Structure 1
């Protein structure tokens, strides 16, 4: 009796339907179905489940690449012992995506080296897992890219694209003074995203010092910061720096360096 092998015909048909990923698990699932005496519908459900999982993983990897995180920082990697005053309950709530659904800003402040960028990227990583498109950038790089877009005549298109990003993370706000047209560009972007999309901002400046980030235009500073702080979730970090220098071992004493005399 000749056994019919459908694989030569099945493979090109699956590729035509853009279901070629099923081929990766088809043989093992077929063997599992035979050994377990599964119904046809159970066998089909397993194959479809594999294809859905494969596509979700592919989308996740793509969103992760587009986010352009500096490094892959997650909440699991964060050293909470260094920041004992951190509101962990609020952080876990944010990780679950509350601020995303509310289109609310998240403001993270604290001295250098306490983990602001880490937490911002970790929240971004959580958002990627939840299917949100994320863009991570420093404030300097952001304003430079907007200025370059103006020079090439695509400023409105660039602002529009950034306004539509599911989650925008702006790192190191206030690290360098904002002068025209950078201050205006940042204001335009924040105004476009206001109550329409969530934005995470980190800064070394205390909240009451944020207006100092704008070199000259205090009116523009007030309008921008007012939109950022409205309904925002705030995380204040205070602790030991991650960037503590390594301590060199103490030099040996002269007596320790002297050769020992063998006992007689």
Structure 2
């Protein structure tokens, strides 16, 4: 008697329907290997746990909203010989997440700041941490839009609770009111409560320029961002440097043709 037809609805009721995906193969394996009932059950439970973990990972990855699937394994460290690779590897372990410490990454355009930030975010997702990736402009625009619909407090609270928030391209555009105040409020809410990664084309000494309307607000915001922060400077050639086309070589005229045209 085949128990699967009766078993299927029961597994669905218990929210264990994923077991059906490997049940037949595991049953055959148990028969061929003469496994004990407990060993057979252990394999099924292990399969279900692995499926659930993969489902959680995929969900976190979608929620993170990374621009691209950049990982640390794909990062070209050879282009940045001055980069502290030991620090990058230490950050990849996620210790800064437990410390709730900021990570600040600066460097010229195209040196891999966004890649590195997203790669660290990907490491966090693998470790079961919820991540949100956004640009500075999109972040402040989203908060302002939430204000217009009366959802500002809820949106701010949601962003403040994210275990890892990655803010890309800070300082690319000046922060005008109320964007400067919104960013300050978010940084203040997250201060020593959750980890934040920030990337910028500006040198650390130039970050106050992102707040042209209120230098006092700049000081208060940056003071919190810099406190106990891990800082990295990416100094190297741009990944986006254009590829030069080969110089066209003019073909030499055959000697016979040259003589015919009256050239020696």
Please state which band the TM-score falls in when normalised by the shorter chain. over 0.9
- 2:197 pairs with 1:182: no
* Residue 152, structure 1, aligned to residue 149, structure 2: yes
1:172 aligned onto 2:182:
no
Calculate the TM-score normalised by the size of structure 1: 0.95
- Give the alignment partner of residue 138 of structure 1, picking from 132, 135, 140: 135
What's the Cα RMSD here?
A: 1.2
Q: Which residue in the other structure is 1:208 paired with?
A: 205
Q: 1:65 aligns with which of 43, 62, 71?
A: 62
Residue in 2 that maps onto 1:88: 85
Residue 161 (1) aligns with residue 177 (2): no
Q: Which residue number in structure 2 is paired with residue 198 of structure 1?
A: 195
List alignment gaps of at least 5 residues for structure 2.
Answer: 258-264
Q: What TM-score does the superposition give when structure 2 sets the normalisation length?
A: 0.95
Cα offset for 1:254?
Answer: 3.9
Displacement of 1:215 in angstroms is: 1.4
User: How many angstroms does 1:259 deviate by?
Assistant: 6.5
Paired residues, number: 257
Please list the CA deviations of residues 175-215 of structure 1 after superposition, one character each: whole Å capped at 9, or x if unmatched. 00011100000000000000000000000011111101111
Return the offset for 1:154: 0.7
Residues 1:260 and 1:82: Cα distance change in structure 2 (over 3 Å) = farther
Q: Could you say what secondary structure the match of 2:166 adopts?
A: strand
The aligned residue for residue 219 of structure 1 is 216
> Runs of 4+ in structure 1 displaced over 3 angstroms?
258-262
Q: Secondary structure at the match of 2:249?
A: coil
Taking the aligned partners of 2:41 and 2:255, their CA distance within structure 1 comes to 78
Aligned: 1:36 with 2:33: yes
